[in-house]
Amino acid sequence: MGRNPHPDRPAALQDWAAAFGTPPPAFLSVGFMQKACAYEAQCRRHGGLPATTRRALKQIATGEKAEVAKAPSLSPGAHFVREWNGRTYQVHVVTGGFEMDGKTWRSLSAIAKHITGATWSGPRFFGLNGRAGGRA
């Protein structure tokens, strides 16, 4: 007596075929198929990964050394301002780190975590590499 291993599997198989135009490999879990279909729908609505990221991922997948964009260099004296939950935060680049509220920090990510209570990419949080305020 065979039992359906997951009641959502038939729907996940159908969604996969609709999203990607082919049936999925037999070993994929329902959860993975659901997440992949949701990501594909999101990419179609809002755009996918930037071309540079896609290129780097292809290079990595083929065993090539990928070219990774470097974060912009920050010189002492640079100043960042970020509003978060109604408060404005000001950060100054100093030799050996960053200064905010009289305290010196080793990284922008540490400051972003201090501000938000969650792990963020500091450069992204402060708008230095694309969408400002995006989570890492």
Share above pLDDT 90 across residues of the chain, in percent, rounded to a whole number: 45
Per-residue pLDDT of 54-77, as tens digits, reads 888 888 888 887 766 665 678 899
Backbone angles phi, psi at 80, to 5 degrees: -120, 145
The pLDDT of residue 4 = 52
Q: Which helix (H) or strand (E) element contains residue 90?
A: strand 87-94
User: Is the whole model's pTM more than 0.85, yes or no?
Assistant: no
pLDDT band per the 50, 70, 90 thresholds, residue 133: very low
Question: How many whole angstroms separate alpha carbon 26 and alpha carbon 61?
Answer: 22
| Number of other CB atoms surrounding residue 89 within 10 Å | 17
